[in-house]
A and B are shown apart, each in its own frame.
Chain A
Amino acid sequence: MPDVVLQARGLAKAFAAPSGLLAVLTDVSLEVFSGESVSIRGSSGSGKTTLLQLLGGLDEPDVGEVRVLAPGLGLVRPRTSLGRGVGFVFQNYQLMPELTALENVSLAARIAGVDAGPAESAARELLAQVGLIDRLDHLPSRLSGGECQRVAIARALVNKPSVILADEPTGNLDERTGVEIMNLLLGVVAERGAALVLVTHHREFAERVGRRFVLSGGVLSPA
């Protein structure tokens, strides 16, 4: 039986709205195992991004708890394992505009406490793996959308996290580039032995992973 790398139990989250509290998630539970890929689909405003933020420790649930497997620490709250237990891939890439591709990736390792030399080596290796070895010194403004997302994928993987949380990673890309990025993401994540939680609108992409869920009415259910 593979290890649990992500565990969410009874998550609920509501936001203040002019009409009162708006419940986005009411009762969400999820377990993700080592090396597994999971997709979550849902309509706009269904709470997919909120769920991903709760899973990644970028926000706290009102009710329930999340645990993430962090290297050397076991299952811990995601906030304490940011950058190590969890890697993020965002829709808008979210690269630092003043840093080169190499620096963007090595920054994640530096923040996790890795020295400059090893961080740069790891970043270089990952950028080669995502096909950007000739773009190391390029700023994000000099990269295409697909190339930026490749950098973002490399950055998410540089600290060898147990799980990658990808929020609409192809949402800003054209169809062909989207397919390329999805192939790359699934391939690299599998190769690195990490689990993947993929939030997407795209039915085809969602169906390429092992387990599929739909988020609707604040509840997560198998597709």
Chain B
Amino acid sequence: MPWFLHLALRQLFPPGKRFPAFATVSILGVGLGVASLLVVQTVMNGFGEEHRLRIRESFGDCVIVGAAPIANPDELVAKLRLDKEVDGATAYAEGPGLLRRGDFSGVAGVRGIDPADKRQPARQYVTAGKFDDLDDGRVILGYGLARNLRAQVGDRIELWSPAMAERAEKGKAPLPAELEVCAIVRTGFTEVDDRAALIPLRRFREIWSLGPRAHGVILRLKNPAQAAATAGRLGVGHPDLRFVPWQDIKKNFLEAIRFEKTMLFFLMFIITLVASFSIGSTLFSAVIRRSREIGVLVSLGSGRWQLVGLFGVQGLLIGALGTALGFVLTWVMLFFRENILGSINAVFGDGEMVANVYQFSKVPLHYDVSDFVIAAAFTLLTTTIAGLVPALWAAGRKPSEAMRDA
């Protein structure tokens, strides 16, 4: 081991002191900075991942729509199912409808789906009733819509479609479709939950007089991350159809999450920067305090760059140990995140926010290796610079001055 590294270790961790004040406080400061950065990033990643998953589960990996209803959806679905990237394809139809239950009514975005499709997006979000009970006489309602209609599973509602108005214009008495609520879904997306009414596609076509046509096709892909590329490839040869990958379905929302993460990273970056500056300031004090020792080291033949190494290594070591501590603290804080959140809720009374606002049963997480690599690189860089600046200053001094000033 080079002598300056040995001396740096001894100066940071003097023998006989279990928790040397300077090293302990500096490492703890860096560790907390790194942990706060990574906890925020990991939770934000979790929120982002959870939202992305919900978008895919609620809307599909790729949605195919056209300027006009798709004339022969079954043929298109059969063709798409043959593609090696496509895991599943199902046609759907949708349109506005008026729902009424007694004195309560609401506008719904009614969607006709294939009840037999085991991968229907809404299946996972059923909060009451059974998805598989859906048939021509039943409807599944979004949570918000059901609440507005004061409807529960088993209640009967009336559905009015625009096609009925056309019938009335032709002098036929329109009769609403009477449907029994068989399930309620809650996806967490207000616009879905407050408007969604799901009925079988066959029944939708009947009520909307749509014939065999459909308004779109939902695709499940084997590699959803490549949805944009797959959508582009599948779209070739279908100029009348638009293949929309899930990333574009809620583009602004996803951009907002990404922006939020970037801003939080920036704020946390400043926290870590402040910690690094405090290390720089403390190291500067230590270097000044050790001026006489620096002069002695020069009198012993120490070179300029060895002195830079002596103090630069101390900054690097603080950064490395602080980063390692930060990783451990991150894991501990995230492991006990529900307890921590519970304590915060108990103090500030914001209980159930995660469940009520975000519809998550617990705080979501997603560990991203790149966040850890960036945090470690940034911390090591700033703490090393924090150590190098006073080291360069010390190494540039005349030894006689250093010995006189101390």
Secondary structure class of chain B's binding surface, majority of residues:
helix
Closest B residue by C-beta to A86: B299
A-B contact count (CB 8 A): 68
Q: A98-B10, A111-B306 are in contact. Are A58 and B399 (CB under 8 A)?
A: yes
CA distance A77 to B396 in the complex (A): 19
| Shortest distance between the CB of A205 and any CB in chain B (Å) | 22
Given contacts A96-B293, A98-B7, A111-B3, contact A58 B300 (CB under 8 A): no
Whether B300 and A90, one on each chain, are in contact in the complex, defined by CB atoms closer than 8 angstroms, is: no
- A94, B292: Cβ atoms under 8 Å? yes
CA distance A110 to B7 in the complex (A): 11
Q: Which of B11-19, B39-47, B362-370 contacts A (4 or more CB under 8 A)?
A: B11-19
Once A59-B399, A110-B3 are accepted as A-B contacts, the answer to whether A82 and B16 lie under 8 Å apart by CB is: no
- Check A58 against B298 for contact (C-beta < 8 Å): yes
Q: Is B297 an interface residue (CB 8 A)?
A: yes
Are A83 and B300 closer than 8 Å at their CB atoms?
yes
CA distance A194 to B298 in the complex (A): 21
Chain B residues lying within 8 Å of A215, measured Cβ to Cβ, are none
- Docked-complex contact A94 and B296, CB < 8 angstroms: yes
Q: Chain B contacts of A83 at CB under 8 A?
A: 299-302
Q: Which of A98, A112, A139 contacts B301 (CB 8 A)?
A: A112
Q: Is A84 an interface residue (CB 8 A)?
A: yes
Chain A CB within 10 Å, residue with most, of B298, B301, B398: B301
Q: Give the CA-CA distance A111 to B293 in the complex, in Å.
A: 14
Assuming the contacts A90-B296, A94-B292, A98-B11, asked whether A111 and B302 have C-beta atoms less than 8 A apart, the reply is yes
A33 within 8 A of B: no
Q: Of A83, A90, A98, which is in contact with the most chain B CB atoms at under 10 Å from its CB?
A: A98
Of A82, A88, A94, A107, which contacts B7 at CB under 8 A?
A: A107
Q: How distant is the Cα of A96 from the Cα of B293 in the complex, in angstroms?
A: 7
Given the interface pairs A88-B299, A111-B306, the reply to whether A96 lies near B7 with Cβ below 8 Å is yes
Cβ-defined contact, B399 with A139, below 8 A: no
**Does A56 make an interface contact (CB < 8 A)?**
yes
Q: How far is the CB of B309 from chain A (nearest CB, A)?
A: 12
Q: Once the chains are docked, how many angstroms separate the CA of A83 from the CA of B399? A: 13
Given the known interface contacts A96-B7, A98-B10, the answer about A56 and B299 at a Cβ–Cβ threshold of 8 Å is: yes
Q: Size class of B's contact patch?
A: 20 to 34
Alpha-carbon distance A191/B358, docked complex (angstroms): 84
Question: For window 1-52 of chain B, which residues contact chain A by CB distance below 8 Å?
Answer: 1, 3, 6-7, 10-11, 14-16
Cβ-based interface call for B403 (8 A) = yes
Whether B400 lies near A59 (C-beta < 8 A) is yes
A88 to B398 CA separation, bound complex (whole angstroms): 16
B295: Cβ under 8 A from any A Cβ: yes
What is the CB-to-nearest-CB distance from B90 to chain A, in angstroms, rounded to a whole number? 72
Contact A108 B300 (CB under 8 A): yes
Contact of A98 among B14, B299, B300 (CB under 8 A): B14
- A82 pairs with B10, CB closer than 8 A: no
Judged by a CB distance under 8 angstroms, whether A209 is at the interface is no
A34 on the B face (CB < 8 A): no
**A98 to B295 Cα, complex, angstroms:** 16
**Which of A50, A92, A100, A107 touches B300 (beta carbons < 8 Å)?**
A107
Determine the distance from Cα of A19 to Cα of B297 in the docked complex, in whole angstroms: 33
Instruction: List A residues 89-128 near B (Cβ within 8 Å).
Output: 90, 92, 94, 96-100, 103, 107-108, 110-112, 116
How far, in angstroms, from A116 to B3 measured CA to CA in the complex? 9
Instruction: Knowing A94-B292, A98-B14, A139-B16 are in contact, say whether A84-B399 is a contact too (CB < 8 A).
Output: no
Counting CB contacts under 8 A, is A29 at the interface?
A: no
**Chain A residues with CB below 8 A from B298, complex form:** 58, 82
Is A53 interfacial (CB-CB < 8 Å)?
A: yes
* Residues of chain B with a CB closer than 8 A to A107's CB: 3, 7, 300
- Report the minimum CB–CB distance from B311 to chain A (whole Å): 14
Chain A residues with CB below 8 A from B11, complex form: 98
Residue of A nearest to B293 (CB): A96
Write the residues of chain A forming the contact surface with B, with a CB cutoff of 8 angstroms: 50, 53, 56, 58-59, 82-84, 86, 88, 90, 92, 94, 96-100, 103, 107-108, 110-112, 116, 139, 155, 159
**Closest CB pairs A-B (n = 10):** A83-B301, A59-B400, A110-B3, A98-B10, A82-B301, A58-B399, A94-B296, A53-B400, A58-B400, A98-B14
9 further A-B contacts with Cβ under 8 Å, apart from A50-B400, A107-B7, are A58-B295, A59-B398, A94-B295, A96-B10, A98-B14, A110-B6, A111-B306, A112-B301, A139-B16
Question: What are 8 contact pairs spanning A and B, CB under 8 A?
Answer: A59-B398, A82-B298, A86-B299, A88-B300, A96-B10, A98-B10, A99-B10, A116-B1
